[in-house]
Amino acid sequence: MSTEDPLPGYGGRLRDLLESKGARVGCRVRIIREPGEIIEGILMPKHSLSNPRTIIVKLDNGYNIGVDVESVKEFCVIECREVKRASTTKLAMDSSKPLVTIIGTGGTIASRVEYETGAVKPVMDPEDLVELMPELKEIARLRTFVLFNILSENMTPHHWEMIASKVHELLSEDPSQGIVIAHGTDTMSYTAAALAFSLQKLPRPIVLVGAQRSSDRPSTDAALNFVSSVLASIELKVGEVVVCMHGTTEDTYSLAHRGVKVRKMHSSRRDAFQSINDVPIAKIYPRERRVIITTSRYIPPHRPEELEARIGFDDRVALVKAYPGFQPEIIDFLVDRKFHGIVIEGTGLGHITEQAIKSIERAVQEGIPVVMTTQTLFGRVNMNVYTTGRKLLSVGVIPGNDMLPEVAYVKLSWILHIDRDMNFVKRMMLQNLVLEMNPFHRVDLFPRWFHG
């Protein structure tokens, strides 16, 4: 007999009610609150922050709702299906297909709802992936590793190091294999930048992929993104880290964005990711099995023996946003706490209140590099135009050109782990290492929705 809790998260009188009706998570239930108001769906588990009086039900449309038990007039169990035992049969992979290794780190794309139990389960076995996306077995031979399973907001520089080390190990073992990293979307661009600086002169693309909507929802983007990423890892002939996500709100194609030039621009849209001050490297049409490079500006693949790995990040770097009324003591606090580097997400062409200049000068004099970026995202800093910018340059602030603030933050963290000499840091920050900066003659590109 299973020792698993049949009603995880439920307690007290609510648990007594559910048990008296023979309910368990995964059962189909019917709730009547008022005459004519009937709710049917799958009983779901609860997390520790749920209201203790709430029953969680997954509706047939894929969405979860909470029902206050005090409003329930009638509750009954319609059906409780037997929990399927996990299959021990291993999927026979076609040895003639190219090998693609998938590294799991967590996030929506690496999970699905198991309706027999109502729980969200990680989906990182090849068999599970093919069950959800049968077309994968026609494209590649899959191998998976779960490196860790965390929410992307909990990523740290140490996690970047773990991912980079695993990728380096895999490429050293077999540089011909495709590599896909399943990752939460919220901080995916940070990890992409970290990998781009850590692993240079790549023999093939390293592909990060995520999902905005879980696989149990009718509007999920997981399948298209995942199949596209596997295809890109095999067919995309570049030597860069890329982020592969929906290209439109439709299930037509995905885009491969340069890892140091991409940002999540919407909290929930399926096409949330956009190349900033750049264009996507490629379009991927998974149904047609086509990968089309869309720009002439990319890093080509290098020979396997040319791979350069410098893995490590300084976790004493801060990213600070400028705002009206910015308090200079924020900079002083970082100096006093012995931070090693500061990136400022400045206004416009790269500004912050003049009252902060003295504190910034103190930081630089004490050997703490300060880098200026712009919160407008599109465009670049130009600190020679206005007085404030020129004053910031005169006290030693390093202009970040058109680097995204998070990319400048990752780059500075990576450089400081190598050497904290100020001249070395400035030289490296101004050097275009993996196309994280664009030349001045390139036309700035605006978001697609600005064009109607």
Instruction: Cite the active site residues.
Output: 108, 185-186, 264
Start-end of H helices in 111-198? 126-132, 136-139, 157-173, 188-198
Residue pair 261/404 in contact (Cβ under 8 Å)? The answer is yes
The tokens of 367 are what?
A: 């050997």
Quickly count: other Cβ atoms within 10 Å of residue 365's Cβ: 11
In the 8-state DSSP scheme, what is residue 162?
Answer: H
How many helices (H) and strands (E) would you count in the chain?
11, 23
Distance of CA 81 to the CA centre of its chain: 35
Which DSSP state fits 347? B
- Write the burial class of residue 371 (CB in 10 Å: 0-12 exposed, 13-18 middle, 19+ buried): buried
How far apart, in Å, do the first and last CA atoms of the chain sit? 59
66: how many CB neighbours lie within 10 A of its CB? 14
- Helices 357-365 and 329-336 cross at an angle (nearest 10°) of 20
Contacts of 134 (CB under 8 A, 6+ apart): none
Contact 319, 405 (CB under 8 A): yes
Length of the chain: 452
Alpha-carbon span 390 to 426, nearest angstrom: 17
Helix (H, G, I), strand (E, B) or coil at 116: coil
| Owner of token pair 């490429």 | 171
CA 19 – CA 185 distance, rounded (Å): 38
- Asked whether 139 and 227 are in contact (CB, 8 A), the reply is yes
Question: How deeply is 201 buried, as exposed, middle or buried, from its count of CB atoms within 10 A (0-12, 13-18, 19+)?
Answer: middle
